[in-house]
Chain A
Amino acid sequence: SQTIHQWPATLVQPVGSPLSLECTVEGTSNPNLYWYRQAAGRGLQLLFYSVGIGQISSEVPQNLSASRPQDRQFILSSKKLLLSDSGFYLCAWRPPVRNTEAFFGQGTRLTVV
């Protein structure tokens, strides 16, 4: 069966420090991958999505970047964190066929101090 792993679960980082959040999917090939941010426990903002290795679509210009170095690995990064980067970050995947739903990881709570 397919599983998605996202880590760490919580992270406290100082302003100006770098960030690297990792998401991996097991048991599938060529998944569509997504990064979302959820602020204040509410709406989900789509940050990046990827349909293949090295293919990244950015939805919102911001202080973050994403990379997909391997088929089932999706990384969210920042060179210098801002206070406004705090939030709950969710990774998701879905099979690359039309009728499928997405499956979410358990999320990373990032607090920038």
Chain B
Amino acid sequence: AQSVAQPEDQVNVAEGNPLTVKCTYSVSGNPYLFWYVQYPNRGLQFLLKYITGDNLVKGSYGFEAEFNKSQTSFHLKKPSALVSDSALYFCAVRDGNTGFQKLVFGTGTRLLVSP
């Protein structure tokens, strides 16, 4: 069964500094990986995905993520954080081989960007 771990409950960063939100995954087949953001009392918004190809994927709002197969990681990054980036971030995985319908999320990481 696939699973996702987000080891940090919260990440604090000052505006203008780079940010990283960590994610590791476990699947038996090829991983399809996703990042979503959630603002209070709202649904999840898609940021970016890795399916295959280049290990560095770029997404919405200046975010990017790096796929590392040997470390089974898919960390979310942004070169310069904004206060408006403060939100709850979720990593998700789907098994590209066997159970490709099932999408499993991590527990979420709260990002707090201070002015």
Is B108 part of the binding interface, using a Cβ–Cβ cutoff of 8 Å?
yes
Given contacts A51-B101, A99-B32, A103-B46, contact A43 B51 (CB under 8 A): no
Chain B: interface size category: 20 to 34
Given contacts A46-B103, A99-B51, A102-B103, contact A90 B44 (CB under 8 A): yes
The closest CB in chain A to the CB of B105 belongs to A44
Is A74 part of the binding interface, using a Cβ–Cβ cutoff of 8 Å?
no
A61 to chain B, nearest CB (A): 16
Verify B43–A105 contact, CB threshold 8 A: yes
Task: Please encode chain A, from 76 to 106, with 1 for each CB lying within 8 Å of some chain B CB and 0 for all others.
Answer: 0000000000001010101000110111111
Contacts of B46 in A (CB 8 A): 101-103
B100 interface neighbour in A36, A46, A98, A106, Cβ under 8 Å: A98
Contacts of A6 in B (CB 8 A): 43
Verify B43–A34 contact, CB threshold 8 A: no
Contacts of B45 in A (CB 8 A): 104
B93 to chain A, nearest CB (A): 12
Residues 61-97 of B at the A interface (beta carbon under 8 Å): 88, 90, 92, 96
Is B34 part of the binding interface, using a Cβ–Cβ cutoff of 8 Å?
yes
The closest CB in chain B to the CB of A45 belongs to B105
Residues 1-46 of B at the A interface (beta carbon under 8 Å): 32, 34, 36, 40-46
Contacts of B103 in A (CB 8 A): 34, 46, 49, 92, 94, 102
Bound CA span A46–B105, Å: 8
B107 interface neighbour in A34, A43, A99, A104, Cβ under 8 Å: A43
A to B CB contacts below 8 Å, 28 in the list: A6-B43, A34-B103, A36-B105, A41-B40, A41-B88, A42-B107, A43-B108, A44-B90, A46-B103, A46-B104, A46-B105, A59-B102, A88-B41, A90-B43, A90-B44, A92-B43, A92-B103, A98-B32, A98-B51, A99-B51, A101-B49, A102-B34, A102-B92, A102-B103, A103-B46, A104-B44, A106-B42, A106-B43
Residues of B within 8 A of A (CB): 32, 34, 36, 40-46, 49, 51, 88, 90, 92, 96, 100-108
